[in-house]
Structure 1
Amino acid sequence: MNKEEPLTPFRWMFSQEEGNQIINCAMNLKNPINLESVKSEFKNSILIQHPRFQSVLVRNTNNGREYWKRGDVNLDKHIFLIQDIDHGDSSTSSNILSNDEIVNGYLADRTVSSPLSIDKPLWELHVLRDQNCLVLRVNHALGDGVSIMSLILTMCRKVDQPDELPSIPKHNSKSSRINICEMIWRLVMKIWLTIVYLMGFLLRCLFMKDAKSKISGGHGVELWPRKLATARFKLDDMKSVKNAVLNANVYKFIWRTINDVLIGVVTSGLSRYLDYHRTPNSIPEQGLQISGMAMVNLREQRGLQDMANLVKSSSVTSWWGNKFGYILLPIFPRKNVGNNPLRYVMNAKEILDKKKLSFEAHLTCAITKSAMSLLGPKVTYLLTNRVVCNTSFTITNVGGPQEEVMFGGNPVTSLRATSSSLPHALTMHMISYAGKAEMQILVAKDIIPDPQFLAKCFEDALLEMKEASTASVKT
C-alpha cells in the first residue's frame, strides 16, 4: 500500500529543517524492561496502525512537492536499546546520579540538534533498560502533545482493571446561566479582547519584546546546550488552592481549571528565582513584565476508546494532528502581592479568564495556517520564531490518566515530556498522572545554570499557596 497524502500546513512547517520539532515522551516503569515484550506491544498496538506512523515524508526536489507515502514499518529500525549512557556534566561525576537525573540528562541531549531520519516514519522508541524507561521520540509533524499522549495511552491499561483503557480528564466548559444583557456584554468583551490580543500578537511579530532578564533567550539560543530538571506537584494541593481562590473571589464567568494555579505557581516561582539572582542594576521591583507562550488545545477532548475507533477507521485525520493555537501570557514576577501568596493565582486567573473569553488561540492558529498557505513554511517559521524570540518562556499542560496504568503488564511510575529546544532559555511541559503532576523544566544551561533550584522554587511556591489556602478555609 503506497497511498500518497499531502501535508497539512502545520505538518509542512514542522517537517522543515528550520522548524524541526521533536516531542520526547518518557515513560518510567516499575519493573525491568524486556525488549522483546516491548516490541511485541508495539507490533500489536494502535500506534502501528496509525497512518502517520506508517508514512515516510517524501520531498520531491524537482517541483518542491512534499507528501506522506504509506508503507510497511520495520520495528528494528525504530526501537533501539540504549546502554552505557554518558552522564554528562563532570561537575556531578563525583555524585551518584539517580535514574531520573540520568534520564533527564539523556533527554536534554536529545533536545538540541537531534532530528529524526526522513528515510523512515518520523518516530523512534529508545529503551533505557538500566533506568527502566521508555523514551518515545515523535516529530511534531505527526501530531501535537494531546494527540501523542492519547496514542501512547491506547497502549496502556489500568492497573486495577487490566482489560480497560485509562480514563483521561475531559474539560468542563459549563458556565452559569446568564441573561440577555450579560450575553451582549460578554459578546462585546469577546470582540474587544480578541482585537486587543490580536494587536499584541502582531506587535510581538514586529518589534515588541520583553525586557532583558535572568531568563531571557533569543535568536540562536535554540542551539545552546541544555539542562533538564523536574518539578513535582500533588494535584490535590493544586485543587485546594484553586478552590480557595474561587471561594475568595466572585467572577462573572468561571472556568475551573488547574491552569490558573499552574500559572500562579510559575509566576511565584520565577519571582523567587529572580529575587535570588537579583543584581543592584536590575529592573525595579515593580517594573518587570515577562511574557510567555502557552499552547492551547483546540479540539474536543475524546475518550481513548473513541481514539481507538478513529484510528481503525478512515476518519482519524478529522481529530488527529496539530490542532492548537497559542496565547501570550503577560506575568509580573515581582509584582507586590503583600502577605497573600494566593494573589499570584488570583492575578493569573484574571488574565486567563480574559484569554479564554477571547478568540486569541483560534486566531493564532488560523494566522499560522494562512501564512503557511500564502507565504510558505520558511517565512512562517521566521515570523513564529520572532514571536518566540520576543517572549521569555514556553509552557504547556497536558492531562494524563487519572489512575495508575501499566504498559505490557509493567506498572508506569511516571509520565514526562519535553520538546526540541526553542530560542527560549526556559521551556516548561507539565503532564498529570494518577494524582500527581510532573513539570519538565528545559533550560539553556549557560543562561539558567541551576534548573534544579528553579524547580524547587516552583515546588515551594505551591506549598506556600497550599498553606495559605488551608489557613483561609479555617478562618
Structure 2
Amino acid sequence: MTKEEVEEEPLSPMARLFQSPGIDNCIVTMIGFKAKINPDIILDELKQNVSKHPRFCSKLSDDGARWMKTKVNVEDHVFVPDIDLHEINKDGDGFVDDYVSRLTLSTLEKSRPLWDIHILNVKTSKAEAVSVMRCHHSLGDGMSLMSLLVACTRKTSDLKEFPTIPTIKRREKTMSHRLGNKGWFLLSINAVYSAVKLIWNTIVDLLLVLAISFLKDTETPISEGAGFRNNAKRLYHQTVSLDDIKFIKNAMNMTINDVLLGVTQAALSRYLNQRYGNKDVEAGTTISDLNNLPGRIRIRAGIMVNLRQEIGIQPVADMLAKGSKCRWGNYDSTVFVPFTISLETNPLVPLLKAKSIMDRKKHSLCAAMNYSVIEFILNNFGPKVFKRTCSNTTAILSNIVGPVEEVSLHGNHIAYIALSTYGHSQALSIHFISYAEEMGITITVDPAVIPDPHNICDEMEESLKAMKDTLSTKSDRFFGMHG
C-alpha cells in the first residue's frame, strides 16, 4: 500500500454483487445540453470537487472486497474525442448512439476509481452537446447518483440558487383517533389480518425468488438468444409528458410506479403481438389480424426497489453522514414481477393489473429480506446464483426521481437526462427518470434480439395516450351528468 492509498470500509452486499465476475454492472448517464460544453470548465470543477466524495476518489482493493482511498488524476477520467463535425453533421444522433454502444463493450479500469466522463460536442435532435458519464454500479445506486448530480447543479432561473429538493416519503396509513370500542375491535382484527397477510406474501415472494433460479421465462422475441453479455448494447431515449402520467395516477388512485408498470405491460403486449405477427407472415400463416400472441407467456421483470425511508433526492452531505437514514451506496433490492402479456380492449385493464400486483408486493418484506439474503448467498455460494437468476428473467425496470425543475450544470443548461445500465444478461432494460415536466424513458437492448427499441417506446406513447383519453372521456361524462 502506498502513502497515497488508505484502506477504508468494506463493500456492501449489493456493491459486491455488482462487481462480481459475470455480473460486472455499469451505470451510464447521458446528459444533453442546450449549448456546447467547455471541457476545461468540467476539468477544473472535477479537480476542485472530486476529492470531496469518498467513492469517486477510491478504488477497489486487490481482492475486490474493500474501498481504498487513492489520489485521482482527473485527466485520466475525462475524454474529449476528436470529432469530424462535417462527417457527422447530418446524423449526430447516430454518432452518439454508436459511441455509447461501443462504451458498453468496455469495462472500467479497476486500478483506479471506477468512473469516467466523455464529452461529445455533437448536435443531436434533442441537444447541442452530450456528456456521457459511466460509473460502476458498486459506487452507488440510482438515487445516490441522482442526488450527487442535483447537488452539482443550479436553477436555470437563478444560477446562484440550488435546485428544489422535494420531500418524498413512503405512504403511511393513518387512523382516526375517534374510535369507539367496536372501532378498536375491528382495528385489532384488521391488524391481525394484515400481519398474517404480510407473512404469507413474504413467504410466497421468497419462494418465487427461489423458483426463478430454476424456472426460466418463456422464450419470446424479446429474449431469444439473450444472455450473451459480450454483445454491445443499444440505448434509445424518448420523453413523454409527466403531467399525463400524474393525471392517470390521480384518476386511478395509484402511484406513478403503478402507472409506469401498467404502461410497460400494455406496450410490451402490443410490441410482442407485432413481432409474433411478423413471424407468422414470414412463415406464410397468420393467426389473426388482431391477436397473434400465443397463450401462457411467462415473462418476469426485476424491479429495483429503494429500501431507504426517505425515497427522493437527498442532500449529499446527509447521505454521507454516519448513521444516516438515507445513506449513500447501494441500499436497494429487487422484486420480481410477472407481466401479464395480453391485448386488452379496455386500456385501463393493464393499469388495474399492475396496481394489484404492486399492492401485494408492497405488503411483503421480500425486498428488504433479499438484501440480507444476498450477503448470505455471496458468502456461501458465490455470485453464480444471481447470474442464473438474471438469465432466467426477461427484463429490468427502474424509476428514479430527477430534478423537479430545469437545471444547469456548471453553467450549462440541461436539456434532458437519460440513465441506464449494462453488464447484465437480460436483452431488455427500461429506465424511467423524471426531469422538470417530462418523464424520460431509456430502453437498453441487445440489438441482436430487439433491433427496433424505438417501436417499444412508440407503443408506450400509444398506450399512455389511450389510457389518458379513456380517463378524460369518463371525467367529461361525469361532469356532464353533474353539470
TM-score bracket, shorter-length normalisation: 0.7 to 0.9
- Please name the residue that 2:44 is paired with: 40
- Give the 3 Å change call, closer, same or farther, for CA 224–217 of structure 1 in structure 2: farther
The one-letter amino acid paired with 2:122 is D
Q: Give the Cα–Cα distance (whole angstroms) in 2 for the partners of residues 284 and 304 of structure 1.
A: 40
Q: Give the Cα–Cα distance (whole angstroms) in 2 for the partners of residues 288 and 2 of structure 1.
A: 52
**Kept after mapping to 1: 8 A contact 2:24/2:424:** no
Question: How far did residue 10 of structure 1 move?
Answer: 2.4
Question: How far did residue 231 of structure 1 move?
Answer: 3.1
Q: Give the Cα–Cα distance (whole angstroms) in 2 for the partners of residues 190 and 315 of structure 1.
A: 28
1:25-424 pair list within 5 angstroms: 25-45=29-49, 47-59=50-62, 64=63, 66-84=65-83, 96-99=90-93, 101-112=94-105, 114-131=106-123, 132-169=129-166, 170-177=168-175, 179-205=187-213, 207-217=214-224, 220-246=227-253, 256-278=254-276, 279-280=279-280, 285-301=294-310, 306-311=315-320, 319-334=327-342, 336-338=343-345, 340-375=346-381, 379-380=382-383, 382-424=384-426
The one-letter amino acid paired with 1:116 is L
Question: What TM-score do the two structures reach when normalised by structure 1?
Answer: 0.87
The one-letter amino acid paired with 2:435 is Y
- Please name the residue that 2:458 is paired with: 456
**Comparing 163-172 and 181-190, the one that deviates more:** 163-172
- Please name the residue that 1:249 is paired with: none
Q: Give the Cα–Cα distance (whole angstroms) in 1 for the partners of residues 156 and 336 of structure 2.
A: 39
- Give the 3 Å change call, closer, same or farther, for CA 364–65 of structure 1 in structure 2: closer
- Please name the residue that 1:90 is paired with: none
Question: How far did residue 325 of structure 1 move?
Answer: 0.8
Where 2:309 maps in the other structure, the secondary structure is: coil
- Give the 3 Å change call, closer, same or farther, for CA 186–203 of structure 1 in structure 2: same
**Comparing 213-222 and 263-272, the one that deviates more:** 213-222
Question: How far did residue 261 of structure 1 move?
Answer: 0.7
Runs of 4+ aligned residues of structure 1 deviating over 3 Å after TM superposition are 93-96, 217-220, 279-286, 302-306, 313-318
- Give the 3 Å change call, closer, same or farther, for CA 13–104 of structure 1 in structure 2: same
Question: How far did residue 7 of structure 1 move?
Answer: 2.5
- Give the 3 Å change call, closer, same or farther, for CA 65–290 of structure 1 in structure 2: closer
- Please name the residue that 2:15 is paired with: 11
**Comparing 169-178 and 443-452, the one that deviates more:** 169-178
- Give the 3 Å change call, closer, same or farther, for CA 85–361 of structure 1 in structure 2: farther
- Give the 3 Å change call, closer, same or farther, for CA 96–461 of structure 1 in structure 2: farther
Question: How far did residue 260 of structure 1 move?
Answer: 0.6
Question: How far did residue 303 of structure 1 move?
Answer: 7.1
Where 2:431 maps in the other structure, the secondary structure is: strand
Where 2:308 maps in the other structure, the secondary structure is: coil
Task: Report the RMSD for the aligned CA atoms in angstroms.
Answer: 2.6
Q: Give the Cα–Cα distance (whole angstroms) in 2 for the partners of residues 168 and 272 of structure 1.
A: 37
**Kept after mapping to 2: 8 A contact 1:128/1:134:** yes
**Kept after mapping to 1: 8 A contact 2:88/2:95:** no
Where 1:271 maps in the other structure, the secondary structure is: helix
Long gaps (5+) in structure 2: 124-128, 177-186, 478-483
Question: How far did residue 218 of structure 1 move?
Answer: 5.9
Q: Give the Cα–Cα distance (whole angstroms) in 2 for the partners of residues 425 and 147 of structure 1.
A: 25
Q: Give the Cα–Cα distance (whole angstroms) in 2 for the partners of residues 360 and 467 of structure 1.
A: 36
Greater C-alpha Rg = 2
**Kept after mapping to 2: 8 A contact 1:290/1:330:** yes
Q: Give the Cα–Cα distance (whole angstroms) in 2 for the partners of residues 358 and 295 of structure 1.
A: 15
**Kept after mapping to 2: 8 A contact 1:417/1:440:** yes
Q: Give the Cα–Cα distance (whole angstroms) in 2 for the partners of residues 213 and 302 of structure 1.
A: 34
* Matched-pair identity in %: 31
**Kept after mapping to 2: 8 A contact 1:9/1:373:** no
Q: Give the Cα–Cα distance (whole angstroms) in 1 for the partners of residues 263 and 451 of structure 2.
A: 21
Question: How far did residue 318 of structure 1 move?
Answer: 7.4
Q: Give the Cα–Cα distance (whole angstroms) in 2 for the partners of residues 155 and 173 of structure 1.
A: 29
- Please name the residue that 1:251 is paired with: none
- Please name the residue that 2:181 is paired with: none
- Please name the residue that 1:250 is paired with: none
Question: How far did residue 369 of structure 1 move?
Answer: 1.6
